[in-house]
């Protein structure tokens, strides 16, 4: 059935990953595969009778194009390194927890949990989808960690192993669990109190002796059930209020936390009900109190809900390899953290240099774009220093460690003060701002009511005053904020904009300055635009195409796609010098492409993004690759510049300043080091701006951290992104202004719902002031007002989002 | 007719056992991952054949 669909489709898609089979098409069992990697996975699954993988979701696999894992995990065969990753180990069993970011659907769960079927020696395999972690138990005598990891990588589920991974079990979120316990206890008590309160509401006949016995039983039972609600469930609010009052008395702060009016209300409810229970022995307001605390706790839980499968707090450690191959030591591989001055280690093609070192041997061509934003790789000679964070793009090199990892030039940035203190994101600032007036107003009304009844009917003083405090409890107010923000977060999430927590949305609405990084942010990270300088005939193009189509170098691939449509000629001989160029004989002609000094065989400086062409010893010109700007970048910036001050911070050289000048004007800085970027943001913020930084690489890490809101832009949300407050899918960068505007709308909705809850409060206080608030009325009115405010704010947020076509 | 009092106490005890079950589940990490169990229950067709643990 599947094949008949793909026949109708104009495009042939890979049976495994769903990608276009444009460049390669492997046909097997009537199924198309886009690369040998995808075919291998299919083959393994078929052999193990696990093709149910494809029945669950069509084309469920992860594309394996251009993936080469050979030798990548060799360091896992070193016992010391393996032990560091294992969480438990004895003679018969070893346990490991691996982080697998590419998990995305139910097929993944199925395949990975069926891992014991594919690989002998694996006992159990359990996946935590939310955290994207796979827990494996295996027999270390039958299978090694290296074999497991290699097979996972082959199947497209490459585990993420870096300097941060250790065998230690991830710590459990005790705060959330505590909250769940409280919700459980409070919910249990609230439900039972409500049930026990019914007889009282339906008018027991107290003259009847039997009814009177029950009434007392229910009264005391309610009191017992209310104790855990007050002392356990509401303890955070009582404590919070106590500390806030203490801070105010000491003069340390003049903010009255929103806990104060809440604690005031709960305490009033508790004391009044206790009095009612034991003195006149009538029903108290126990059900109102329990319901109130339950609602508040649920609101608090909603506030903690985040995208916990995304990681917002990454340091350089997540980027660095766990181990490197070392020379002349007892072990072949060494944990990067244990590297000491004087150690000699190897860095292979496409690997990251973990620490500052001196080049001993080999051909070093270091791409620092990750650290500096500079897009051209730098050539280093023997004896020169290479810095941490660079990526070796040529062959294997041998390096002599100069400094331990933690003190290298790159990691110094993380010793900056902005990384040492926790970035403060206020989640309750808005409610606290409101609470100041609220608290004073409530106390004033309660006092006025008390004074009024003192002169008119002294018996009603306490009933009226306590009733005012009870009704005025800002429950609806504290709930509308977390529920609205939670809705906004999930709407943003659907639009591939992931904020770290609710406070970020609040801060987003206050932004007035936006600072952009260039490489990887305004321009695309992996794609460039190819331009031919010089002239090539059709035949010559075919010659070049024949050469580049044989190479996997990124530049060759770009040139190859630029020359798409040429006919590949027969290649008689080909030799690639990594990081330099290719020598070949095509159709009997000698073709040399690559760097200028390579093709001309002279010492010449050339840009590394240029591919020079020499045919039969005649220089023909060169291809140059220029970074390509993202779609709609100009429209976006023009729109943003109307409302915001926008600026550009680039680590790259100013060769593109001409294009950018009309938009940024003088607010452009080039050749900025990570520290420069951080300082620039600091300077802006000190002058009173609220800065949002949008960047992508490690070079922006400092700026992202220092700015009020740091947004990491990424092609793949699951992949690495530096420490930030929000992650934005690169495809959606043109929607940036919509997000900022929506955060303002969300905040206005919260304010509107505050207004609604104030209206309810005025109504309730009117009742209370007259001393007429009966337990039944309170039990109906209080939850109803709270729920209606929550429905109002959540519903309105969805409606606005729908109107703006965000859902 | 004190039987109602006994019944109420019994009812609370039974409800209390569910509360205890909730505590147990929370401590056990049942609420840490809310997605994969929903998939797992649908997929378990032939795993029992080579149950190894």
Three state DSSP letters for A405-453: HHHCCCHHHHHCHHHHCCCCCCCCHHHHHHHHHHHHHHHHHHHHHHHHH
Residues A293, A287: Cα–Cα separation, whole Å = 10
Residues A276, A279: Cα–Cα separation, whole Å = 6
Q: Are A344 and A322 in contact (CB under 8 A)?
A: no
Question: pLDDT confidence of A205, banded at 50, 70, 90?
Answer: low
Question: Is residue A735's pLDDT more than 80?
Answer: yes
Residues A502, A648: Cα–Cα separation, whole Å = 28
More confident residue, A54 or A178: A178
B-chain residues near A123 (CB < 8 A): 52-53
A581 Cβ contact list (under 8 Å, min separation 6): A592, A593, A594, A595, A598, A599, A611, A612
Mean model confidence pLDDT for chain B: 77
Q: Which two tokens stand for residue A122?
A: 């694996």
Residues A565, A543: Cα–Cα separation, whole Å = 13
pLDDT at A3: 44
Residues A764, A777: Cα–Cα separation, whole Å = 10
Residue of chain A minimizing CA distance to B16: A188
**What are φ and ψ of residue A614, in 5° steps?**
-130, 120
Question: pLDDT confidence of A5, banded at 50, 70, 90?
Answer: very low
Rounded to an integer, the average pLDDT of A420-435 is 67
Question: Is residue A307's pLDDT more than 80?
Answer: no
Question: Is residue A797's pLDDT more than 90?
Answer: yes
Q: Are A143 and A106 in contact (CB under 8 A)?
A: no
pLDDT at B48: 44
A669 Cβ contact list (under 8 Å, min separation 6): A647, A648, A649, A650, A676, A680
Q: Are A664 and A646 in contact (CB under 8 A)?
A: yes
Q: Which two tokens stand for residue A509?
A: 């609405």
CA A32 to each of CA A6, A48, A51, A67, A324: distance values in angstroms, whole numbers, following the listed order: 9, 20, 15, 19, 39
- For A114-160, write each residue's pLDDT tens digit: 888 888 888 888 888 777 788 888 888 888 888 888 888 877 788 87
CA B28 to the chain's CA centroid: 11
Question: Is residue A423's pLDDT more than 70?
Answer: no
Question: pLDDT confidence of A2, banded at 50, 70, 90?
Answer: very low
Whether A192 sits inside 8 A of B43 (CB atoms) is no
Whether B39 sits inside 8 A of A192 (CB atoms) is no
Cross-chain CB nearest to A109 (options B15, B23, B36): B36
Q: Which two tokens stand for residue B3?
A: 């039987």
State how far residue A181 is from chain B, nearest Cα, in angstroms: 6
Q: Are A599 and A581 in contact (CB under 8 A)?
A: yes
B-chain residues near A109 (CB < 8 A): 36, 39-40, 43
Q: Which two tokens stand for residue A726?
A: 């929000």
Residues A594, A145: Cα–Cα separation, whole Å = 40
B-chain residues near A181 (CB < 8 A): 23, 26
For chain A positions 162-181, those within 8 Å of chain B (CB to CB) are 172-173, 177, 180-181
Q: Which of B33, B36, B50 to mutate to test the interface with A (most CBs of A within 10 A)?
A: B36
B-chain residues near A110 (CB < 8 A): 39, 43
A-chain residues near B49 (CB < 8 A): none
List, as one string, the DSSP characters of A164-229.
T--SSPPPP-HHHHHHHHHHHHHHHHHHHHHHHHHHHHT---TTSHHHHHHHHHHHHHHHHHHHHI
The residues on B that touch A, with CB distances below 8 Å, are 1-2, 4-5, 8, 12, 15-16, 18-19, 22-23, 26-27, 29, 31-36, 39-40, 42-43, 45, 47, 50, 52-53
Across A737-746, A762-771, B41-50, least confident range: B41-50
pLDDT at A8: 45
A772 Cβ contact list (under 8 Å, min separation 6): none
A-chain residues near B47 (CB < 8 A): 113-114
State how far residue A118 is from chain B, nearest Cα, in angstroms: 12
Please name which of A67, A62, A69 lies closest in space to residue A14, comparing C-alpha atoms.
A62
State how far residue A718 is from chain B, nearest Cα, in angstroms: 17
Residues A263, A240: Cα–Cα separation, whole Å = 8
Residues A521, A259: Cα–Cα separation, whole Å = 42
Please name which of A532, A515, A757, A719 lies closest in space to residue A623, comparing C-alpha atoms.
A532
Question: pLDDT confidence of A428, banded at 50, 70, 90?
Answer: low
More confident residue, A718 or A795: A795
pLDDT at B47: 45
A-chain residues near B50 (CB < 8 A): 116-117
**What are φ and ψ of residue A335, in 5° steps?**
-60, 135
Neighbours of A456 (CB within 10 A): 10
Interface pTM, i.e. ipTM: 0.83
A-chain residues near B36 (CB < 8 A): 109, 127-130
- For A210-235, write each residue's pLDDT tens digit: 777 778 888 888 999 999 999 999 99
- For A485-519, write each residue's pLDDT tens digit: 889 988 998 888 888 888 888 888 888 899 998 87
Question: pLDDT confidence of B19, banded at 50, 70, 90?
Answer: very high
Residue of chain B minimizing CA distance to A216: B5
Would you mind telling me the total number of residues written for chain A in this entry?
A: 807
More confident residue, A653 or A116: A116
Residues A244, A257: Cα–Cα separation, whole Å = 6
Pairing, β A589-594 against β A610-615: antiparallel
pLDDT at A184: 94
Cross-chain CB nearest to A181 (options B12, B23, B45): B23
Element (H, E) at A628: strand A618-629
Q: Which spans in chain B are helix H?
A: 3-27, 36-43
**Which domains does chain A show, CATH number per domain?**
2-56 (no CATH), 74-154 (3.30.70.100), 175-307+426-483+746-803 (no CATH), 316-415 (2.70.150.10), 526-627 (3.40.1110.10)
More confident residue, A800 or A433: A800
- For A156-195, write each residue's pLDDT tens digit: 788 878 776 665 555 667 888 889 999 999 999 999 998 8
State how far residue A177 is from chain B, nearest Cα, in angstroms: 7
Q: Are B39 and A109 in contact (CB under 8 A)?
A: yes
pLDDT at A18: 76
Q: Are A157 and A62 in contact (CB under 8 A)?
A: yes
Q: Which two tokens stand for residue A40?
A: 């291998």
Residues A471, A763: Cα–Cα separation, whole Å = 9
For chain A positions 71-130, those within 8 Å of chain B (CB to CB) are 106, 109-110, 113-114, 116-117, 123-124, 127-130
Question: pLDDT confidence of B17, banded at 50, 70, 90?
Answer: very high
Whether A185 sits inside 8 A of B1 (CB atoms) is no
Element (H, E) at A286: helix A286-304
Highest average pLDDT, of A47-51, A787-791, B49-53, comes from A787-791
A-chain residues near B43 (CB < 8 A): 52, 56, 106, 109-110, 113
Whether A129 sits inside 8 A of B33 (CB atoms) is yes
A-chain residues near B1 (CB < 8 A): 210
A139 touches chain B (CB under 8 A): no
Rounded to an integer, the average pLDDT of A75-81 is 79
pLDDT at B49: 43
B-chain residues near A210 (CB < 8 A): 1
Residues A409, A406: Cα–Cα separation, whole Å = 9
Helix (H, G, I), strand (E, B) or coil at B28: coil
Identify the residue whose tokens are 């400086």: A605
Q: Rounded to the nearest 10 degrees, how much is the dihedral formed by the CA atoms of A678, A680, A681, A683? A: 120
State how far residue B49 is from chain A, nearest Cα, in angstroms: 10
Residues A801, A293: Cα–Cα separation, whole Å = 31
Highest average pLDDT, of A430-439, A638-647, A795-804, B23-32, comes from A795-804
A-chain residues near B52 (CB < 8 A): 116, 123-124
pLDDT at A185: 94
Q: How many CA atoms lie within 13 A of A564 on its CB side?
A: 7
Residues A422, A417: Cα–Cα separation, whole Å = 10
Highest average pLDDT, of A301-310, A444-453, A616-625, comes from A444-453
For the stretch A612-647, what's the b/e string if a residue is b when 16 or more beta carbons lie within 10 angstroms of its beta carbon? Answer: bbbbeeeebbbbbbebebbeebeebbeebeeebebb
A296 Cβ contact list (under 8 Å, min separation 6): A234, A237, A262, A475, A478, A479
For the stretch A187-199, what's the b/e string if a residue is b when 16 or more beta carbons lie within 10 angstroms of its beta carbon? Answer: bbbbbbbbbbbeb
Question: pLDDT confidence of A73, banded at 50, 70, 90?
Answer: confident
Question: pLDDT confidence of B24, banded at 50, 70, 90?
Answer: very high
CB pairs under 8 A between A and B: 68
A140 touches chain B (CB under 8 A): no
pLDDT at B18: 94
Helix (H, G, I), strand (E, B) or coil at A242: helix
Rounded to an integer, the average pLDDT of A273-293 is 87
CA A264 to the chain's CA centroid: 38
Q: Which of B5, B17, B26 to mutate to test the interface with A (most CBs of A within 10 A)?
A: B26
Cross-chain CB nearest to A109 (options B2, B40, B45): B40
pLDDT at A182: 93
More confident residue, A5 or A93: A93
For chain A positions 24-53, those within 8 Å of chain B (CB to CB) are 52
Whether B36 sits inside 8 A of A130 (CB atoms) is yes
Mean model confidence pLDDT for chain A: 81
State how far residue A39 is from chain B, nearest Cα, in angstroms: 24
A-chain residues near B32 (CB < 8 A): 128, 130-131, 172-173
Residue of chain B minimizing CA distance to A113: B40
């Amino acid at each position: 059935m599947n094949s008949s669909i793909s026949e109708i489709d104009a495009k042939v898609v890979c049976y495994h990953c769903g990608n276009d089979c444009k460049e390669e098409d492997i046909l097997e069992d009537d199924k198309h595969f886009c690369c040998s990697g995808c075919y291998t996975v299919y083959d393994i699954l078929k052999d193990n009778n696990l093709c149910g993988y494809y029945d669950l979701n069509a084309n469920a696999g992860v594309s394996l194009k251009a993936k080469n894992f050979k030798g990548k995990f060799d360091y896992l065969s070193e016992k010391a390194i393996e032990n560091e990753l294992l969480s438990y180990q004895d003679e018969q069993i070893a346990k490991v927890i691996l982080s697998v970011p590419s998990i995305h659907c139910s097929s993944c769960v199925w395949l990975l949990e069926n891992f014991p079927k594919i690989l002998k020696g694996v006992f159990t395999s359990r996946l935590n989808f939310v955290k994207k972690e796979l827990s494996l138990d295996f027999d270390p005598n039958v299978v090694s960690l290296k074999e497991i990891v290699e097979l996972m990588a082959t199947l497209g589920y490459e585990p993420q192993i870096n300097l941060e991974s250790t065998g230690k079990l991830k710590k459990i979120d005790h705060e959330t669990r505590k909250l769940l316990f409280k919700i459980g206890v409070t919910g249990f008590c609230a439900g039972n109190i409500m049930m026990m309160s019914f007889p009282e509401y339906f008018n027991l006949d107290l003259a009847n002796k039997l009814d009177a016995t029950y009434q007392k039983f229910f009264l005391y039972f309610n009191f017992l059930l209310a104790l855990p609600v007050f002392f356990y469930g509401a303890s955070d609010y009582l404590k919070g209020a106590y500390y806030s009052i203490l801070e105010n008395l000491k003069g340390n702060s003049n903010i009255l936390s929103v806990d104060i009016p809440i604690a005031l209300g709960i305490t009033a409810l508790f004391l009044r009900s206790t009095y009612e229970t034991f003195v006149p022995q009538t029903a108290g307001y126990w059900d109102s109190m329990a319901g109130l605390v339950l609602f508040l706790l649920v609101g608090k839980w909603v506030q903690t809900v985040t995208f916990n499968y995304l990681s917002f707090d990454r340091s350089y450690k997540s980027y660095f390899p766990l181990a490197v191959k070392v020379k002349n030591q007892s072990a072949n591989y060494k944990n990067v953290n244990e590297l000491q001055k004087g150690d000699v280690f190897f860095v292979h093609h496409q690997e990251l240099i973990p620490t500052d070192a001196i080049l001993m041997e080999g051909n070093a061509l270091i791409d620092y774009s990750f650290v500096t934003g500079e897009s051209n790789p730098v050539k280093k000679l023997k004896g020169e220093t290479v810095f941490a964070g660079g990526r070796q793009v040529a062959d294997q090199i041998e390096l002599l460690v100069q400094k331990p990892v933690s003190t290298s030039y790159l990691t110094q940035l993380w010793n900056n003060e902005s990384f040492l203190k926790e970035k403060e994101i206020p989640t309750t600032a808005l409610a606290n701002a409101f609470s100041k007036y609220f608290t004073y107003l409530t106390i004033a009304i309660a006092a006025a009511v008390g004074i009024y009844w003192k002169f008119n009917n002294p018996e009603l003083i306490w009933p009226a005053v306590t009733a005012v405090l009870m009704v005025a409890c800002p429950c609806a107010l504290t709930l509308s904020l977390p529920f609205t923000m939670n809705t906004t977060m999930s709407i943003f999430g659907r639009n591939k904009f992931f904020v770290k927590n609710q406070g970020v949305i609040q801060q987003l609405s206050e932004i007035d300055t936006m600072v952009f990084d260039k490489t990887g942010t305004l321009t695309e990270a992996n794609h460039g635009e190819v331009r031919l300088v010089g002239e090539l005939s059709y035949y010559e193009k075919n010659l070049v195409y024949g050469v580049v189509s044989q190479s996997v170098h990124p530049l060759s691939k770009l040139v190859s796609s630029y020359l798409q449509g040429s006919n590949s000629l027969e290649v008689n001989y080909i030799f690639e010098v990594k990081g330099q160029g290719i020598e070949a004989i095509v159709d009997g002609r000698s073709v040399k492409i690559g760097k200028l000094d390579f093709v001309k065989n002279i010492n010449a400086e050339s840009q590394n993004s240029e591919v020079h062409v020499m045919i039969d010893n005649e220089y023909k010109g060169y291809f140059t690759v220029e970074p390509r700007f993202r779609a709609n970048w100009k429209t976006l910036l023009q729109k943003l510049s109307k409302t915001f001050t926008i600026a550009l911070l680039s680590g790259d050289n100013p060769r593109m300043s001409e294009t950018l000048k009309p938009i940024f004007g003088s607010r452009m800085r080039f050749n900025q080091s990570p520290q420069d970027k951080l300082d620039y943001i600091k300077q802006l913020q000190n002058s009173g701006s609220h800065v949002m930084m949008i960047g992508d690489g490690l070079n922006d890490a400092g700026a992202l951290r220092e700015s009020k809101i740091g947004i990491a832009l990424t092609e793949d949300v699951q992949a690495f992104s530096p420490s930030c407050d929000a992650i934005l899918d690169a495809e959606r960068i043109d929607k940036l202004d919509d997000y900022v505007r929506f955060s303002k709308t969300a905040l206005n909705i919260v304010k509107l719902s505050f207004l609604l809850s104030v209206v309810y409060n005025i109504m309730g206080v009117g009742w209370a002031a007259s001393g007429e608030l009966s337990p039944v009325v309170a039990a109906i009115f209080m939850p109803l007002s709270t729920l209606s405010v929550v429905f109002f704010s959540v519903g309105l947020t969805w409606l606005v989002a729908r109107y703006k076509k965000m859902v | 007719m004190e039987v109602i009092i006994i019944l109420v106490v019994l009812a609370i005890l039974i409800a209390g056992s569910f509360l205890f079950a909730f505590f147990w589940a929370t401590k056990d990490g049942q609420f840490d991952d809310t997605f994969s169990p929903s998939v797992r229950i649908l997929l378990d067709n032939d795993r029992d054949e080579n149950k190894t643990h």
